[in-house]
Amino acid sequence: MAKKKSSKKQFASTQPKAKKSNIPDLIIEDGFWKKNVIPALILFVLSIGLYIQTKSFDYVLDDKIVYHENALVKKGFSGISEIFGTESMVGYFGEQVNLLPGSRYRPLSIATFAVEHEFFGNHSYKIESFWTKEFKKNPAFAKKIDRISSDGTIYEIVFPTEESFLTALTAHFSESEINQNREQFLYHAAYSNSGISHMINVLLYGLLVLLLFRLLSVLFPVVQSKWYLTLAFVSTLLFVLHPIHVEAIANVKGRDEILALTGALATMFFTLKYIATEKPIHLVLSGVIFLFGLLAKEHVLTFIALIPLTTYFFTKSSFRKNAISIAPLAVASLIFLYMRNEAIGGDNMFNLSAGGVSTDLMNNPFVEMSGAEALATKFYTLGLYVKLLLVPHPLTHDYYPYHIPIMSWGNISSILSFLLYAGMGVFAVLGLRKKSIPAYGIFFFLIPLFAVSNLVVPVGTFMNDRFVFFSSVGFCIILGYLISRKLPSPVINLGLLGVLVLGYFAKTVTRTADWKDGYTLNVSAIQNSPNSARANLFMGTALFKKFAQRETDTEKKKALLLEVKSYVDRALEIYPDYGSGIKMKVKVSTDIYKLDSKIEPLLQTFEEIIKVRKSNASIDLYLDYFKNSNYWTKELTAFSYKIGYEHFYKKMGDPLTATKYINYGLSISPSDPSLNQAAAEMNGQ
């Protein structure tokens, strides 16, 4: 037995060792662009062609915060260091205001705007709130600035030349004042070329599309000869055409989304290049590009999870190599978090939601909800994202309160959405072992969406089309997979693809047109978001600036102001304490008074506002004006009694505020018996 056992041992020791497999962990083909010149050209040209109409579009919405009314951007090159060293709203507000939890640190796109302004920012001029704010600091100019703000022939009008702008100023300033302040007048009014800004966005989008096509071609190698039905081409084509992307491309501010997704996808590509080649240069590039992506938008951090999943699904790389490939991303993340913490301040650089939760409904739409209602509403909005990806209609830029209604768990939509997301999560996890493409697509959809879902970090609104810019890649992968690999015949494949292409193309072209300027955008929003306080206020404001403020015919102007007032009233009906709405209501009501000199409607407006806010600086100025001018004694006396005694004293039990308005009435009519009796009762006499 011993001899036999020894023989087995000797036999085993003489066997050749198994050779290590020479199959690469990942193969990335050479000469890709030469082999795919036709599909690449189609995708790039289509990307540009879809959005070429934006070359004539203006700046809208938050473009003023990050660009044309941003003091740091107006500095050009010299403002870039401050842009990277401060919170991203400092350039607009002049200080860090922390409107949202965690503030905002997204300097990269703002820095590109500063570069643009350096080259294209002194070719036209426009007086905006930034200009008036700067010159109102000079007491000698305060009244003139107020008049300019109400002058529709100069305020928010673009002047194509320096000469035409300075000539327009002569209506409000003397020649000596213009000469003394010429440099500052021009500097603060310098207006960038919006057409160039839009075209840069479009070009960046085209390059992003090519990057996506290249990346998907690595993940999904060709399994059939028809290039127009490959998964990579079909998925990228759907991404190019999808109407939900219009906000990110047609809004200049959306450049942060484009740059961020470009950085995330490029990082993924160079990580895969490292897996395939093990060249250190690809590690360096992945880390550097990841940092730039983070500086565009912090949501790129979600790719710390998505990139390892990608290497797991599509490579044979070892755990060790995968860990090495993630190391540069971890370093880049730490650098970003340090930079962000230094810029915005804070005790913990890992806390992205530092800062108090806003109590302003426009910055925290869940503030009036219970915890259960908030969670039900969040899942309802998550369901809407899936619906809009499948059927992108109707689209709006305004999902503010209460376009999205307050939901409860008794609502079937919230329940179905919760079940849908739970099902997607389970399907994706179960698909890990099989490394199924639909499972990967779901991960690509869910992981970036988690950052903007409101489930962990409040984002300041219910939802936005641009919030699924990242996640739509996952959706397009799943849809592209079904079309290119699962449908039974090329006829059905091409038929479905054709329907989607035509439908998406038509919707994208028409939706893009809505973004031409503030007025066209708000006309669209009020049609699709009639229950949004913000949409109603913005519609009224756009109508005021574009038409009412510039109308010279008295009757037409009054009709326009009444139309503006109807939108503002609707906004305040939805959200009575809406500060910007209250300010606009005072402005419109006083402008109507200037036209018809009817005091009753104006005092009615004052009464409605005071009941909400107790006092208003603009109202106080008008009341002082009436008192000093001896106008409307009877009406003002009755107003003082009604608001002071009947409302604040008898109804609200607020003697302090009541006394303010009773004393105002007595200053106009000291012997009025009703006011004196009210004062005596309040004083306990």
Per-residue pLDDT reduced to its tens digit, 600-628: 999 999 999 999 999 899 999 999 999 88
Q: Which is higher by pLDDT, 552 or 22?
A: 552
Q: Which whole number is the average pLDDT over 166-170?
A: 93
Could you tell me if 580 and 536 are in contact, meaning their C-beta atoms sit under 8 angstroms apart?
A: no
Give the Cα separation of 227 and 219 in Å (integer). 15
* Residue entry with tokens 């450049």: 255
* Mean residue pLDDT across the chain: 92
Contact (Cβ atoms closer than 8 angstroms) between residue 584 and residue 537:
yes
d(CA 335, CA 144): 48
> Could you report the per-residue pLDDT of 489-500, keeping only the tens digit for each?
788 888 999 999
Whether residue 252 contacts residue 67, with contact meaning beta carbons closer than 8 Å, is answered with yes
Contact between 536 and 567 (Cβ < 8 Å): yes
pLDDT, residue 1, reads 42
Residue range 107-131, pLDDT digits in tens: 999 999 999 999 998 789 999 988 9
Q: Where are the alpha helices (DSSP H) in 251-279?
A: 255-277
pLDDT score at 357: 65
At residue 347, the pLDDT reads 65
Q: What is the pLDDT of residues 464-510, one digit of tens each?
A: 999 999 999 999 999 999 999 998 778 888 899 999 999 999 999 99
What is the average pLDDT across 14-43? 79
| pLDDT at position 13 | 41
Percent with pLDDT over 70 in the chain: 95
Confidence of residue 524 (pLDDT cuts 50, 70, 90): very high
Confidence of residue 16 (pLDDT cuts 50, 70, 90): very low
Judge contact between 315 and 271, C-beta under 8 A.
Answer: no
From the list 159, 147, 146, 149, the residue with the least C-alpha distance to 190 is 159
Average pLDDT over residues 557-576: 96
In angstroms, what CA-CA distances link 597 with 200, 316, 560, 585, 593? 50, 80, 17, 17, 5
User: What's the rounded Cα separation, in Å, for the pair 331 and 340?
Assistant: 14
3 has a pLDDT exceeding 60? no
Which residues partner with 191 through β-bridges? Answer: 124
pLDDT band at 14 (very low <50, low <70, confident <90, very high): very low
d(CA 439, CA 477): 10
